[in-house]
Amino acid sequence: MHGGGFYYLEKYKSAPKVIPKSLHWFKYEAYFTWLSGFSLLFVVYYFNASSMLIDPRVLDISPLAGVGIGVASFVVAWLVYDGLCRTALVRSPWFKVIGFVIATAFAYFYAEVFSARAAYIHFGAMLGTLMVGNVFFTIIPAQKAMVKAATEGTPLDPQLGKNALARSLHNNYFTLPVLFVMVSNHFPSTFSHSYPWAILAAITLGTAGVKHWLNLREKHQTDTAVWVLPAAVALLLGVVFVTAPPAQDSASAAAACTQEVGISQVNLIVQKRCIQCHSSKPTDDVFKSPPNGVVYDTPEDIIRLKDKIMQRVVVTKTMPQNNKTQITQEERDLIRCWIEQGALNK
């Protein structure tokens, strides 16, 4: 039962003797999810490549090169994955190990080419491409062959169903890592870490472990691997601990707070480093409207959004985007000092 109604699903190991009158093909969900996600990738990251995709501090390349690398990486990932699935390794436990190593290599590659935020999104888009590729190239063709065999009463190659089942199982394990990446922009402490690729790999492994335990629970086999869920949760909690923003260096804090910091000083920093985008009339070459509607036109705006400024500018240092306006650590320290002194309007 779902959405206020009842649905009837029955799964056959092979083609049934009689095809049901109503068939629903579970493919359009995957296709349209990928198409909408790929469209958003272009709108947010590729059309604004110089601001959102490329970070000169990581790798100074042209926007066109960045877009080309991003799209090409999805093709390469599919060819590597699909080729691996066609070997005998797919039936070996080593397939999981090799697959995780390859996924980690892609995470490292993205982190060495793109901005950290874009690296996370590309990793998720890469996994999403593998998922939709499985549906389009393996699962649906096998299902069509099953329908044809049932309709014509001809024998069916059982290997088709086995291949489709294996790819479907892979998609099952990809689900939670992809879901995390979809919301990763809201957790800048992850991609702002010194080793964002390692954090991404750890979260991928931990969420896949949670999915594995859920699968065991569905089969009533959790007693055979009681360690899976605690290990996965411990890994994810470890990531939380590692990515927790560090305390400010005492020497830096003392240097910044030798005297009271006023809103006028903070406003000067904001006007110099932030107002290009976060204004009712942005002057940035990419953003023509304030991102997320956040504006710092007046000191009152700055005071009202001091908590957001603290998290993004001071703690995680993920704003300005890719430090496009070259804000200095001294300026970040002054903002922190002002907020810790009570963010007074004087």
User: What pLDDT score does 51 carry?
Assistant: 87
Tell me what the mean pLDDT of segment 246-270 comes to.
Answer: 76
Q: Indicate the pLDDT class of residue 294, thresholds 50, 70 and 90.
A: very high
What lies within 8 Å, CB to CB, of 20 at 6+ separation is none
Alpha carbons within 13 A on the beta-carbon side of 271: 9
Q: Encoding tokens for residue 342?
A: 């009570």
Instruction: Judge residue 54's burial from the number of C-beta atoms within 10 Å of its C-beta, 0-12 exposed, 13-18 middle, 19 or more buried.
Output: buried
Q: Does domain 250-340 have CATH number 3.30.230?
A: no
Asked if the model's pLDDT at residue 98 lies above 60, the reply is: yes
User: What pLDDT score does 15 carry?
Assistant: 64
| Residue appearing with tokens 């009712």 | 280
Range in 116-125, 152-161, 200-209, 293-302 with the lowest mean pLDDT: 152-161
Beta bridge partners of 2: 5
Alpha carbons within 13 A on the beta-carbon side of 70: 28
Q: Residue 320: is the preceding peptide bond cis (ω within 30°)?
A: yes
Cα 278 to Cα 44, 68, 77, 91, 190, distances in angstroms: 17, 30, 37, 53, 24
Q: Give the chain's mean pLDDT.
A: 91
- How far apart are the C-alpha atoms of 135 and 131, rounded to whole Å? 7
Coil vs helix vs strand at 121: helix
What lies within 8 Å, CB to CB, of 269 at 6+ separation is 327, 331, 334, 335
Tell me what the mean pLDDT of segment 61-70 comes to.
Answer: 97
Count of other CB atoms within 10 angstroms of residue 59: 14
User: What pLDDT score does 248 carry?
Assistant: 58
- Domain(s) labelled CATH 1.10.760 in the chain stretch across 250-340
Q: Indicate the pLDDT class of residue 346, thresholds 50, 70 and 90.
A: confident
- How far apart are the C-alpha atoms of 204 and 196, rounded to whole Å? 12
Asked if the model's pLDDT at residue 253 lies above 60, the reply is: no
Query: Max CA-CA distance within the chain?
Result: 86
Counting runs of H as helices and runs of E as strands, what totals does the chain give? 14, 0
- How far apart are the C-alpha atoms of 270 and 281, rounded to whole Å? 15
- How far apart are the C-alpha atoms of 338 and 264, rounded to whole Å? 10
133-167 residue pLDDT tens: 999 999 999 988 888 887 888 888 888 889 999 99
For residue 97, give the amino acid letter. Answer: V
What is the dihedral sign for C-alpha 39, 210, 103, 171?
A: negative
Picking from 312, 317, 343, 341, the residue whose alpha carbon sits closest to that of residue 328 is 317
Q: Encoding tokens for residue 39?
A: 């469209």
Phi first, then psi: give them for residue 275, nearest 5 degrees: -70, -15
Tell me what the mean pLDDT of segment 6-35 comes to.
Answer: 79
Coil vs helix vs strand at 287: coil
For residue 159, give the amino acid letter. Answer: Q
SS3 labels along 142-184: HHHHHHHHHHHCCCCCHHHHHHHHHHHHHHHHHHHHHHHHHHH
Write the DSSP string, 2-45.
BTTB-------SS--SS--SS---TTHHHHHHHHHHHHHIIIII
Rg of the chain (C-alpha set): 25
- How far apart are the C-alpha atoms of 40 and 44, rounded to whole Å? 6
Percent of the chain exceeding pLDDT 90 equals 71
Instruction: Answer for the pair 131, 82: CB distance below 8 angstroms, yes or no.
Output: no
What lies within 8 Å, CB to CB, of 57 at 6+ separation is 322, 323
Asked if the model's pLDDT at residue 213 lies above 80, the reply is: yes
